[in-house]
Amino acid sequence: MSVRWFSGERAVPAWPDHDRGTAYGDGLFETMRAHRGNVLWWDAHWQRLARGATALRLRLPDQARVRDEVNALLDGGDGVLKLIVTRGSGGRGYAPPPDAEPNWNLAVHPLPAVPTAGLQLRWCDTRLALQPALAGIKHCNRLEQVLARGEWSDPDVHEGLMLSQAGDVVSAIAANVFVLHEGQWKTPRIDRCGVAGVCRSWALDTLQAQEARLAVTEVEAADAVFLCNAVRGILPVARLGACTWRPHPQVAQLQRHLAAEHPAFATEVS
């Protein structure tokens, strides 16, 4: 893993002291796929980051400077690029310092293994709190996801689906979910909690999918289910608890469509 840290415009050897992201989760992050030195969906990732900065009322570093540092760090290679931006450093207490310089960090990680078959899922007991002020953005407080992922250790289970406190299906722990009913693709609304994924946005447009409140029974009765995120692309689901699905041609077609637009995913098409 390669890592670089910055405070405002200055490169620094590590996170500065009293960082509010470390103390309070007062920050944002983006996890992106890099292929041959290029970051897939860079503009969409930055737009979501900017929406998050507006919601949290924090400053972002200069985008051109970040991009220059990304290019230098990737050096033409592949990997998972993670960008973290926090409000900056401040003393004890929740009140945001008015003139804080953002602290930010770039790291490149190895690509995850490519699934050889459909995913095996489970329902999570941990539920997502309803907080519309934070819905859609990728803020640094991910304790709900940490608790959910800690619910199992079975290596045959790849992911978990999470409900909101109101009982509707929201997403997987680290991906968005789509279901097919009578020829219509649907995905949960992300207006009360959850992350509005970049790959989710691509799939919404490509499939002309509907955003809807989805019940557990609607997912379990679907004709096909897939997960998606910006690092792993389109991931067919084979099992959810006692429910099973055969490979579906529409999911395979969507995988091919994504691979045609972004060759980084070409090796992941079955």
Q: How many domains does the chain have?
A: 2
CATH number at residue 247: 3.20.10.10
Whether 185 is in a domain gets the answer yes
Whether 84 is in a domain gets the answer yes
In a shared domain, residues 84 and 167: no
In a shared domain, residues 53 and 123: no
pLDDT of residue 92: 86
In a shared domain, residues 137 and 222: yes
Whether 114 is in a domain gets the answer no
Which tens digits make up the pLDDT trace of 44-70? 999 999 999 999 999 999 999 999 999
Q: In 164-219, where do the E strands start and end?
A: 169-172, 176-181, 184-188, 210-212
In a shared domain, residues 105 and 127: no
The letter for the amino acid at 10 is R
Produce one character per residue of 236-254: b if its CB has 16 or more CB atoms within 10 Å, e if not: bbbbbeeeebeebeebeeb
In a shared domain, residues 194 and 241: yes
pLDDT of residue 265: 93
Domain of 167, in residue numbers: 119-268
232 pLDDT more than 90: yes
Q: What is the mean pLDDT of the chain?
A: 95
In a shared domain, residues 213 and 184: yes
The single-letter DSSP state of residue 214 is: B
Q: How many CB atoms lie within 10 A of CB 51?
A: 15
